[in-house]
């Protein structure tokens, strides 16, 4: 099945193919520390944690307290979980975070 992304392009294809070549967590740390700022990596990690907590039916205030994410960020991730491209749901399912 092919996914039609608004992001689709040669540069982004190369980036994603490069990420798929990483074999373990250490390689991920090394690559992402070179390609992203620490703030960017922490922001992406925070978004994933927000998605996990939303999947666990935590309230916005609980999520804000645990992650430091703004309610706007939490709301955006909630919309993605419910109406997005299913990327969060795909990864959360694979990580074992089942819908409650």
Superfamily of domain 10-94: TrpR-like (1.10.1270.10)
Could you tell me what percent of the chain has a pLDDT over 70?
97
Q: Where are the domains positioned within the chain?
A: 10-94
Please provide the average confidence, as pLDDT, over all residues in the chain: 94
d(CA 47, CA 67): 9
Annotate 27-93 with three-state secondary structure: HHHHHHHHHCCHHHHHHHHHHHHHHHHHHCCCCHHHHHHHHCCCHHHHHHHHHHHHHCCCHHHHHHH
Helix axes 71-83, 38-55, angle to 10 degrees: 60
pLDDT for res 2:
64
For the CA atoms of 97, 13, 46, 95, the dihedral, rounded to the nearest 10 degrees, stands at 20
pLDDT at 6: 82
Q: What is the pTM of this model?
A: 0.90
């Amino acid at each position: 099945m092919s996914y039609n992304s608004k992001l689709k392009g040669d540069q982004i294809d190369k980036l994603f193919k490069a990420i798929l070549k990483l074999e373990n967590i250490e390689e991920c740390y090394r690559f992402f520390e070179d390609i992203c700022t620490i703030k960017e990596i922490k922001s992406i990690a925070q978004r994933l944690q927000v998605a996990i907590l939303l999947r666990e039916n935590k309230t916005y205030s609980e999520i804000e307290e645990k992650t430091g994410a703004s309610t706007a960020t939490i709301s955006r991730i909630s919309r993605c979980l419910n109406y997005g491209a299913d990327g969060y749901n795909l990864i959360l399912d694979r990580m074992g975070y089942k819908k409650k």
